[in-house]
Amino acid sequence: MSEPLIKSSISVVVPVRNDGEKLLVLLETLESQTVLPHELIVVDSSDESDLQDQIQKRLDESKTSYIYKKIQGSYAGKSMNIGAELASGDYLAFLDTQTIPEISWIDSRVELFEYSTLDVVFGKTIFRGGSWFQKLIKAASYGSVPHETVPGTVIRRTSWGVVGGFSETVRATYDVEWRDKVKKLLNFSNAGEACITYEGFPRDLITTTKKYILYSFHAARTEAKNHIKQSYLTLFLILLALVIPRWNHIISGWESNPLYIPHVTKIFVLAVVFLFFLLIGVERLFAFIRINLLVKYSFKWIVVIFVSLGVYSWNGVAANAVETATYYIPHVTKLYLAGAAIIFVVVNGIVLPIRKKESLGYLFPYNWFMIAFLRFYLDVIKAPGYIFGAIICIFRSSER
């Protein structure tokens, strides 16, 4: 059994980039902790020229010893890696400028480490929205339940060397990828109450759109959320398989149309067969290439597509397009699409938010519809990045 954790041995690492005001608020909160950290390490990659003096002045007033490191512009993963290398404590803890820890954060993490063999205790974050729009984003994504996060996480310094640092070349999901590695290699816990509050949601739709598109392409370059990426790619490929063979029927003018493609169906089928055997060959030659993810997440989308085709063709096949036939269903396609839309809105606007502890008073009378619309919009704008990421992960090397 390990010795009790020495409370003064925690080094808190905080990356900051052009966010000095929020950093100053975070520093005030750290000063109010029931147990102060051994040291505070601020890694500053800001472009703002006057920010360094502000941070330095505030750190000079701190009760905690500190290290201030100024570096060139970088993503948070690189900044945290640099901070971890500078730390002298036996334990490393991570925060960022968008988060505020509870005053008992360090003390509560200490209790989970005491007399245990844990290597890592993950942070637990509750998400807050200030404006009406921010609350919509929160309800459409995280809800009001705590989520496991890197901010608030405490890890033994010796264990840090085992799992390695964060990815330094991506802006998003580097934290999810790192947590996945921790769970494979170390003894971890995500127990306890929420200890961190996040209030950094975008304030308007334009900013949200830019952020989600940018983050989806950064996420494409990591191993995180592969199951979501593969679902996007599977749906895209199935839709592609439905559209391409009928391409020349869809466009008007046939051979006179500049978009006409001779033998398009044959070309498509040959391309699919070639890709299939290529992937099989790659898998045989290099055992570390994963191609089975497509199969794993294809079935549900195949069912959806073929049910949709069945509904679309129902009156033509089952009733021979005769309106007086027994099995003829008027407006069957419109009814099907309307039903699918209603199910999507109800699930994403009511069911999932309630499961995430959003109150009925907030959802009704109209916020539930706005939440469903926002969820649909975010799913659509993330599609290009996630499809790109799914294609990359097919050929990305990884251990089985």
According to CATH, the superfamily of the domain at 7-202 is Spore Coat Polysaccharide Biosynthesis Protein SpsA; Chain A (3.90.550.10)
Residues 169-189 pLDDT 10s? 888 888 888 999 999 999 998
Band of pLDDT at residue 280, cut at 50, 70 and 90: low
As given in the structure block, the two tokens for residue 186 are 């170390």
pLDDT given at position 4: 43
pLDDT given at position 110: 81
Band of pLDDT at residue 312, cut at 50, 70 and 90: low
Pairing of strands 65-70, 120-127: unpaired
As given in the structure block, the two tokens for residue 332 are 């069957």
pLDDT given at position 187: 92
Band of pLDDT at residue 287, cut at 50, 70 and 90: very low
Residues 26-53 pLDDT 10s? 988 888 888 888 899 999 888 876 677 7
Say which residues have a Cβ less than 8 Å from residue 75's Cβ, sequence separation at least 6: 168, 169, 170, 171, 174
Residue 43, strand partner residues: 15, 69
Listed ranges 230-234, 267-271, 378-382; the one with the highest mean pLDDT? 378-382
Domain boundaries, the chain: 7-202, 226-395
Pairing of strands 99-101, 188-189: unpaired
Lowest mean pLDDT among 8-12, 130-134, 337-341, 391-395: 391-395
Residues 365-394 pLDDT 10s? 999 999 999 999 998 888 888 777 766 665
Say which residues have a Cβ less than 8 Å from residue 16's Cβ, sequence separation at least 6: 23, 42, 43, 44, 45, 46, 51, 55, 79, 97
Percentage with pLDDT > 70 across the chain: 74
